Chains A and B, each alone.
Chain A
């Protein structure tokens, strides 16, 4: 590369970094104060884009930008007051579920309002051309962004350091309960921060208009980028977000410049994994002050009472008898439900008793599926053996990734699981010769004697139930008690001789293997596997299932999986805007039952 090429790519990296910083700053600010991981931040960004694109022909681009910012800030106000304010005391995970439901609703709302086609906005008037730098044309607008990033950074910095409001925000970021105890009106502080964050997302989206068309996929791609920046920088740290945005913007630009464009699929996640392994709290983050009420997961799911056991045995009998009176599609759907029940229960095993939030559990589901598929197609092993070997690959993955993950906690841990899942995904996606690349593995069918629907249903029933019962039993084994001790009080657990990390690591391996069993069963029920089986949406589905069912309960995740799978299946057929409908249902459930379905069912008789 010539010197001028390096300079130009450096400037490209700076321009991307500025736009990354705008979204990430808002997300970091919101997290720092409210402790809410706002999944809908990308959706706010998307709305900013659409509003700007929509207003620009009438008002002109430069007026449309502040209009979009105000509109999105207004929506942020509504969201905070009507939704988030009611669930600050709910378990952290449920808040996640609520913001995720918002993603679904907002995406369909945009589809309804602006239609399906991508809308390319105008160039920015006055900055539409290019300037010559080192003999090459460079867009004026990119120069504007390069300047804007630091300007916003400095303004935020001054706001936080020099104003009373900023001091209160910092106090709340530092120690929320203490700030509250000292008489700070948290309500309006939270509202203010959320509105400011939303405004930053909105303006970020509006300013992206001259560089990219408004489209419906932007919400999730922006949120994943923003998450990475925030976590690499250190949660709640604005300078950290700025530094991380620079780092990631430049790394990406130079990957492309040096001809490694394919690696851009995963490069930000590789950066994140490296940073988190070396600096567990991000570049400039400080270790999170231990929340005084640790994430609301410490309730001990009681043993299932005798009547419950009887009911479960009856249910199993019913499931075993199902093929006698149901055929065809019911069995197919039930097979899916059983697979996802095991997947959800395995995720719950590390989230509930283990207290480790995972955003990347699909990695193990997918590794199990790929393991089985590769054993069948590449090693040409018999199907029965492939089914047995698949989960081992998942277990091996969980052992490898788990070793790093258990060294972190909270959202950092969750993000590291996400990073590993994304890296696994991109390997499956790129390694054409082995994994079939984006097409995946095709022709993964069960052996003849298992090929009929009832036969495969029985197989799935057997392995899913075995897996689920094993995991449930494990919760009440000495191992399970040790795991919960490590979750509830690492210090005390350590003091009585429990090696917390090793216990957590083992839990990771067990949960990963169980997810792998689910994945292998899934692969043979569909006949093909593609990288989607280990992608982020699959992980998110798992989270939604667990949270829908209730993370504090033992059986809840299985119910959540059943309800989610059934809802997704039936709603997608009969309702046009089924994602929005699903999102709305989740929002209602969250507002009505902050403990999840099974949790609410459990409490109901006593609450009268």
Chain B
């Protein structure tokens, strides 16, 4: 029976009529601007797509990805999205990386009334202040990831904190959330220095020196990519991290951790993805499939791309249609499984409860890895509902 079914599907897939009826996901992202994250992301998406189509597609139709580069700017992204909507006639929009691009596309989705599954942008605003009916976001937000680190930070009861962050939306809101949450958890905490270098342009020597001069007990950083690498090397050389605990958002993600190699600073608290150590069945299945397909290990981006495609597929299955309004309703409260375990899509603010792994950095055979890690479920790191309702204005 199954064989016949598979053959039928296979037959359907190859006939041109069925191809024209495929359900189209319009994916746009800054592949050329943030390749380190987005190459694995693309591989994750393609893996999910192949799995879904191999098992018969969705609603009896094949799922198809139409991928566009958004050039990393809101203007080009909006044009690419318009092209996907009006020329390719995609059923769903997906993707984006940087906050401002994500917000611009979310705004367009609201105007054009099309579902937009923002897979990667971390900005809180996309589901809160600028949230709208048609936009849903997969990854844990800046606020959530900061909140995941707060219990450990408060436990240390260090008094003097220094902060360093890339000077744009992500770094600014990470810093604001950190100050607010830590002050609440640990009254009397002091923030003694703040450094906000431009993204990708940190003058690491001077920044490290200035932080050291403030004599902090602990440091909170939201640097990533090249900025993080420069900061770590200068900090190691100049002894900034000696006797100080450092918290760094995202630094445990393989994209940003792997390049540090033997410079990996031990003992830092980070959010990330210890891919080699997670032994849950969901993750094992994903890991094996990914390695088999790509002969490479997954990065954080792989999980995001993979789960985003599955989220669209699950929403379609639940809605039993490609109609946008029904899809929106279907996504609200949708429960699904992901490599990180079961996640749900909150009806309140359209945020998924996908979490992140919180742990400490360690060095093993000259490479960075995470130890003492645990999974922080995104559902548990949210502000009170009333606050969100007030921010969303809907």
Contact = CB atoms under 8 A, between A and B. Distances in A.
Contact of B195 (A117, A213, A261): A261
Contacts of A12: 203, 205-206, 209
Interface string A433-460: 0000111101101000000010000000
B362 interface: no
B285 interface: no
A607 interface: no
Pick from A16, A118, A213, A259 the residue with the most CB of B within 10 Å: A118
A529 B75 CA distance: 7
Interface of A: 1-2, 5, 8-9, 12-13, 15-16, 111, 115-120, 123, 128-130, 136-139, 142, 210-213, 215-217, 221, 252-253, 256-257, 259, 261-262, 264-265, 327-329, 332-333, 336, 429, 432, 437-440, 442-443, 445, 453, 522, 526-530, 532-533, 537, 569, 572-573, 578-579
B169 A439 contact: yes
Nearest to B125: A439
A333 B210 CA distance: 49
Contacts of A119: 259
Most-contacted residue by chain B among A8, A116, A119 (CB, 10 A): A116
Contact of A217 (B75, B226, B260): B226
B78 A527 contact: yes
B68 interface: yes
Interface stretch (B10-18, B82-90, B276-284, B311-319): B82-90
Contacts of A332: 79, 82-83, 86
Interface string B182-216: 00000000000111111011011111011011000
B130 A442 contact: yes
Contact of B204 (A1, A211, A532): A211
A527 B82 CA distance: 12
Given A5-B213, A264-B203, A139 B259 contact: no
Interface stretch (B100-108, B147-155, B325-333, B344-352): B100-108
Interface residues of B, number: 64
Interface centre among A115, A128, A210, A439 (most CB of B within 10 A): A439
Contacts of A327: 86
Contacts of B83: 329, 332-333, 569, 573
B225 interface: yes
A118 B210 contact: no
B103 A117 contact: no
Interface stretch (B44-52, B227-235, B353-361, B377-385): B227-235
Interface stretch (B1-9, B32-40, B243-251): B32-40
Closest 3 CB pairs between A and B? A116-B35, A328-B86, A438-B168
B338 interface: no
Contacts of B123: 439
A118 B82 contact: no
Given A212-B230, A438-B168, A130 B107 contact: no
Contact of A116 (B36, B100, B234): B36
Identify the interface centre among A443, A530, A537: most chain B CB within 10 Å of its CB: A530
Interface string B32-71: 1001100100000000000000000000000000001101
A583 B260 CA distance: 33
B201 A439 contact: no
A532 B259 contact: no
Nearest to A217: B200
B201 A264 contact: yes
B265 interface: no
Nearest to B104: A528
Contact of B203 (A116, A118, A253): A253
A1 B213 contact: yes
A250 B205 CA distance: 12
Contacts of B225: 118, 215
Nearest to B232: A120
B169 A111 contact: no
A99 to B, nearest CB: 20
B324 interface: no
A438 B213 contact: no
B226 A215 contact: yes
Contacts of A120: 229, 233, 259-261, 263
14 contacts: A2-B213, A8-B209, A16-B205, A117-B255, A213-B226, A327-B86, A437-B169, A438-B168, A439-B103, A440-B104, A527-B111, A537-B73, A572-B80, A578-B69
